Amino acid sequence: MTIALPARAKLNLDLEVVGRTDDGFHQLRTTFQAIDLHDLLEIEAADETTLTTSGFDLATTNNSVIAAHDALEQAATRKLPARIVLHKRIPPGSGMGGASSDAAATLRSLKIMFGLDLDLTPIATQLGSDVPFFLTGGRAHAEGRGEKVAPLPFRPGWFAIAWPGIELLTADVYRAWDEVKGEPPNHLRRAAEHVEPRLMDFAKKLGAGWQMTGSGSAFFKQTDSEQEGKEAIARLDGWTAVSRAVPHWA
């Protein structure tokens, strides 16, 4: 049996950094929206666990898929050997949550394949702040480090997306926020531009109505239709997409 699941991307429709805790973690408030842009994860039972990838280049060791597999094995206290294929379509380091979504899809797929009676939420929280959101997707309000997720009613919508081909590390952007702080609608944009000044030129070329998602480096613009989204990216060079909002899947 082969299980294939889409690992969908997300956009942060807003993002406010509200401070830091005593242990150094940044606290935020944000609205997540899952979109139909996705990686594709295929898993089947095997004698030993392997991972192969296609699309955007990724390391096949110490990545979010292997981390999720190992964490689930530990929680299940048994081996879960699987052949895993990841078709990577979400740009890495773009702020669209690709790695977190891949981890959540891995947990969900393995739970189904091996018939595990486990609550995935604590495991997802251990793996990363955004991973719990990707267990259910849709539209949601999140607080804390992003792990405190409250579902919101679905709102259909279309989004034009542009990525400058720059990979940003979330930790670097949050460290920069400590220096430069931020402002609505995304408190991390100024910090991302501090880390990578080329983002300022990229944003200027995009024009009005675009905002950064997550810790960057992708930008999006909400549109009224797919056609309007295509028109918004028609003049742009580099990686672009038009994607629609998707509701909760679990």
Catalytic residue numbers, as ranges? 10, 130
**Residue 163 to residue 206: CA distance in whole angstroms:** 11
Nearest CA-CA partner of 154 in 33, 40, 39: 33
DSSP state of 236: -
Q: Mention every residue, 6+ apart, whose C-beta is less than 8 A from residue 212.
A: 95, 186, 188, 189, 192, 199, 203, 218, 219
Identify the bridge partners of residue 14 per DSSP, sorted by sequence position: 31
Give the residues across from 163 on adjacent strands: 239
Give the β-pairing of 26-45 and 82-88. antiparallel
The first and second tokens of residue 233, run together, are 């990216």
Helix (H) or strand (E) holding 42: strand 26-45
Residue whose tokens read 């950064």? 212
Backbone angles phi, psi at 192, to 5 degrees: -65, -40
Q: Give the Cα separation of 216 and 163 in Å (integer).
A: 9
